[in-house]
Amino acid sequence: SYVLQRLLEDDGELIITEDGGRRIKPHPMFRIVATANTQGSGDETGHYNGARVQSAAFLDRFTVWSEATYLGRWDVLKLVDNNETIADYYAEHVSAFIGSSIRLPITPRGLVSWAELNKVINDIEVSFEATILNRASEADRAVMKGIMDRVAA
């Protein structure tokens, strides 16, 4: 991230030291977008291993901040071809994650994998186990299985 600091200045440029210090001026419409699950504060929860604290000087170079929330039900249903069980599971999983009952986040990529496998094998619980549950810790598995038992009933 420190390599980007100079580029993020008002009249910044990118310096490629591996190419003899070549300087590259950005296009006037150049923009950079970054994401951070920890807002640059590092990870104290264990959810995002390897996330490091970013310096205040680096974070200050990003002038606009926005928070992306979890998907709403309508978006989840569109993502998983209107599978109500998956949408119900997702809502409960997110609540459990936010409440720290589960350490494993559930992602849109995971939802799509689950929905796609379910279309092929037509078994919601087996597809859940293969795409979501099997990567969880033992403690998370118990909570996740309980959620699945409720929503699939």
Whether residue 72 is predicted with pLDDT greater than 70 in this model: the reply is: yes
Tens digit of each residue's pLDDT (9 = 90 or more) over 106-115 = 999 999 999 9
- Residue 11 Cα distances to 1, 14, 56, angstroms: 18, 10, 20
Q: Which residue has the higher pLDDT, 78 or 104?
A: 78
- Residue 33 Cα distances to 26, 27, 75, 115, angstroms: 14, 15, 23, 30
Tens digit of each residue's pLDDT (9 = 90 or more) over 20-52 = 989 888 888 988 888 877 777 777 666 666 778
Q: What is the pTM of this model?
A: 0.73
Mean of pLDDT over the chain = 89
